[in-house]
Amino acid sequence: MARGQLIESVEDTLQHVALCCDLTTATVIWESACRVEGVSPETLHQIAWTSTAARLLAATVTGLSDSGLETLLIRGLAHLNCELRAQAFVAGHRVDLLIGDRLVLQVDGQEFHSSAAERTRDAAHDAELTLRGYTVLRFTYAQVIHDWPRVLATVSRAVAQRRHLLPR
């Protein structure tokens, strides 16, 4: 058996994850299964899951997160009572999260944001978004993982300032 190859099916593995992990960890793993293993959320919705936890996860998984970091961000902001759109297409590029109409959140994990060229591309897109009237908040892996209260406070302040809404 090759290293990293599943012994169980993806579905059996997800069932075990639902039973053994806390909801946040399980959500990250289920979203990753959609991205990495190519399992569609529709397929997960149709399975007759044997546990309540798996049924809950199947009902909420979107398959839109590009990374576990994005899943954590979206899950941590779900209580804001605003429209959250993962992987929204804005100004010619996908953004990690669009809150309402105008608040863009980007999270920089190591996989897609480690080179100078990638950071330059990100800065150019941020500038274009700003010129188009968007508020862009960019957070690092370390901020999301190790300083979540400050990330949440920053996003909450932006929402309180109505930066997620079109100007009247």
**Among 9, 75, 17, 7, CA closest to 51:** 17
Both tokens assigned to 84 = 């959250």
- According to the model, what pLDDT value does residue 112 have? 56
The pTM assigned to this predicted structure is 0.80
Evaluated on CA atoms 38, 74, 164, 142, the torsion sign reads negative
Q: Where in the chain is the domain with CATH 3.40.960.10?
A: 68-160
Both tokens assigned to 132 = 């188009």
Specify the CATH number for 68-160; select among 1.20.810.10, 3.30.2130.10, 3.40.960.10, 1.10.240.10.
Answer: 3.40.960.10
Is residue 134 over pLDDT 90? yes
Residue with token string 């992987």: 87
Q: What is the pLDDT confidence band of residue 108, given thresholds at 50, 70 and 90?
A: confident
User: 75-103: per-residue pLDDT in tens?
Assistant: 899 899 899 999 999 988 899 999 999 99
**Among 90, 38, 35, 93, CA closest to 68:** 35
Per the CB < 8 A criterion, the answer to whether 16 and 59 are in contact is no
Q: Helix %, strand %, coil % for the chain, to 5?
A: 55, 15, 30
Is residue 168 over pLDDT 90? no
